[in-house]
Amino acid sequence: MTARIVISGTSSGVGKTTVTIGLMRALARRGLRVQGFKAGPDYIDPSYHFAATGRKSRNLDSWMLQESVMREVLIRGCHDADIAVIEGVMGLYDGKDATTDKGSTAEIARVLKTPVILLVNAKAMARSAAAVVLGFQKLHPETPIAGVIVNQVGSVRHYEMVKQAIESACGIPVLGYLLVNKELQIPERHLGLVPAIERGELNPMIERAADVIEEGVDLDRLLSIAQTAGELPPVEVPLFNFSDTCTRSGISLQSTMFHATIAVAMDRSFNFYYPENLELLETYGAKIVTFSPTNGECVPDEADALYIGGGFPEEYAQLLAEHERVRTNIRRLIEKGMPTYAECGGYMFLTESITDRSGRTLPMVGVIPGRVEMQDRLAALGYREVTAKEDTLLLKKGESARGHEFHYSRITTTENFPYAYDAKGLRGTHPEGYAKGNLLAGYCHLHFASNPAMAKRFVEAAVRFKEDRHADKSAK
């Protein structure tokens, strides 16, 4: 099994992403093939991982996914990699709620038998840093905390004091440090992040982070710790990569034959997709093709279904509004019954309009009777378990799936709005999404691997639409 390590922290904002991408690039400089993972539901940090490693990063989540599925995601992602670096989420023990470790980095590390390097902000501390680490060790002694890196130290002398305090009280090694360094601050994580990464604008920051890691962290010892990761049991019933002759859930799969083509919006406005969502669609027989609404591209003619993921349509609303031909194309296809799934940014795009933060109201596709308005504050954040109110494109009435919400906008809907789900989170249950005919949309980002029947049904709906369209052409 591939060597692997978890980079976690005592809290959010302690420097996990900076250390993670610096470590990834430093290891890559040694000629190692580095595979990135992100604990929890996050699309932004994996894009940094890709910039640092050149490999697609993947999410590991112990609440949205069954343990066997999470292991499979790890094992598949580590194919031909030398080492995996898993970036934690929030603090080590922060997860779905305040009384358990469910969904936390700690639970993920235990399930995946992966040693944890704990990142501690040691600013204005010496011996007290040992008390912090000791508390993390004692909260759940089975969590494999194997080492510490200290951030925000004022000098090498300060680091030596913190190191001595932690190692004497906690019995684990301190592997290195990062000095206070304003040059390494991660830029704003939303406006134009993806194109900035694609243009290579973040490379100097990533290279500098690698320099700092090489200067202050004992990489040889860290690699030795990564090699102590435990063996994982094999996945007995894989979700992905069925063999040519395998039959699953009533679908016979042939690797050389696509059953239907699903067009996926992929550009500056729409780029939040779990890789496994697309791969499950492929597993059930879909061919994935991409197009760019923001750049004026219509849905490809070969498409039998449409998938519009999340992203930042509000930042490019003017461009989207200007491409009237694209909006008309999408609206007409949906009105003709093309199976369409849209989430968060895609949901916003399909409404009547978006009002951006400057107060401009711009027309969108207009197939969903609602208007979106951007807010100054976060409107929703957290895990969601959705239960279908009626039969929908992906879920039958009463069936559930898991995902998360994260958005700064609100939608004003009409009376008798056909909500798709009851969405359950920490603050209770609320109606969410829109479902009508072959259209399903909502704010919630669903993970298809939480209920693989969703991917199966999406492909089946695309096949039916393809067959019906061909039948209509033949009749003419």
Instruction: State the catalytic residues.
Output: 344
Cα–chain-centroid distance for residue 36? Answer: 12
Q: At what angle do helices 16-29 and 44-53 cross, to 10 degrees?
A: 20
Confirm if 383 and 421 have CB atoms less than 8 A apart: no
Tokens 């093939």 sit at which residue? 33
Q: Which tokens is 152 given?
A: 């925000």
Residue 178: strand, helix, or coil = strand
Confirm if 374 and 314 have CB atoms less than 8 A apart: yes
Helix, strand, coil share (%) of the chain residues, nearest 5: 35, 25, 40
Confirm if 389 and 435 have CB atoms less than 8 A apart: yes
Report in angstroms the alpha-carbon separations of 436 from 418, 439, 474.
7, 5, 28
Gap between the Cα atoms of 35 and 76, Å rounded: 11
Q: Is 207 exposed, middle or buried (0-12, 13-18, 19+ CB in 10 A)?
A: middle
Q: Which tokens is 185 given?
A: 């601050």
The values of phi and psi at residue 287, to 5°, are -100, 130
The alpha carbons of the chain give a radius of gyration, in whole angstroms, of: 23
Q: How many residues does the chain have?
A: 476
Angle at 53 between CA 50 and CA 55, to 5 degrees: 60
Q: Is 201 exposed, middle or buried (0-12, 13-18, 19+ CB in 10 A)?
A: middle
Write 11-15 long-range contacts (CB < 8 A, 24+): 11/90, 11/91, 11/94, 11/121, 12/90, 12/91, 12/94, 14/91, 14/119, 14/120, 14/121, 14/151, 15/119, 15/121, 15/151, 15/152, 15/178
Q: Measure the N-to-C terminal CA separation of the chain; round to a whole number of Å.
A: 58
Q: Is 358 exposed, middle or buried (0-12, 13-18, 19+ CB in 10 A)?
A: exposed
Gap between the Cα atoms of 163 and 90, Å rounded: 23
DSSP 357-382: TTS-EEE----EEEEEEE-SS--EEE
Confirm if 244 and 80 have CB atoms less than 8 A apart: no
